[in-house]
Amino acid sequence: MCRAIKAELSKLCSLPITWFTLSGTFIVNLILAYAFSYAGLQDLTSLQSRLEIGLASVSYSQAGLMIFGILTICSEFNGGQIRTTLMAMPRRGIQIFAALFALTVVLIPAAFVVSSSGVLLTHILFEDAGAPIVGGNLVSAMLGVSAYLTLTALIGAAIGVVLRRMLPALAIMLGYYFIAGPLIRDQADFAKYLPDMAGVVMWFPQPDHASALTPVQGGILLGAWTLAAIIIAATVYRRRDV
């Protein structure tokens, strides 16, 4: 297992798409964070705290980590390299676990760096402007958003394992999180139990709503969604031909 994880980590770090996607996500998040900070300085946003403004960009830049999770998994299927991988690691259960574990190892620091960069930029801009806006619980919010981004990207990776094609997997993830999800959450009460809303409360709690999930409940629920997606992906992966 250790050798399999090392091999998957080496393979993941050697992919150019890894660094292009992560650096692009970082840059886009900084641009969005600057835009939200400027809007906050001009009183053009309803967000009240510096922390909320700094993390607002994550709602959009999360697409980069979703894309990263899908691309790293589907690239092997698209190029046929998965056959070579399975020749070296014929036990598919070990191989898929090692691949997802390696992806998690990369995602956790990437998610923290991306999310914290927006908060840091917002803090600098508000300090320079002398704005009196104060932040919330920084530590819990940063842990929550990092876990949210990591688990969401793993769900995308699991979908990539099942579909084996980048475009359908991207269409499902981006279509749900940016189109279907926002529509459902305004129309149905059960939407708070879906992955997007359960994850958002991990770093954007909604204290004004008595029926809203707590950050811990949201984390447990999103973790359950992620585990279910991985189990389904591993089952499909083990039972089908490449």
Q: Print the domain residue range for 153.
A: 2-239
Dist CA 28 CA 235 (whole Å): 35
pTM for the whole structure: 0.91
Is the predicted pLDDT of residue 129 greater than 80, yes or no?
no
What the block records as the tokens of 19 is: 């660094």
Is the predicted pLDDT of residue 132 greater than 50, yes or no?
no
What the block records as the tokens of 96 is: 């898929």
CB 157 within 8 A of CB 69: yes
Dist CA 136 CA 123 (whole Å): 12
Residues 6+ apart with CB under 8 A from 130: none
Tens digits of per-residue pLDDT, 208-234? 565 678 889 999 999 999 999 999 999
Is the predicted pLDDT of residue 136 greater than 60, yes or no?
no
Is the predicted pLDDT of residue 26 greater than 90, yes or no?
yes
Report pLDDT for 25.
96
Cα–Cα distances in angstroms (integers) from residue 124 to residues 33, 43, 117, 173, in the given order: 11, 17, 11, 33
What's the total number of domains in the chain? 1
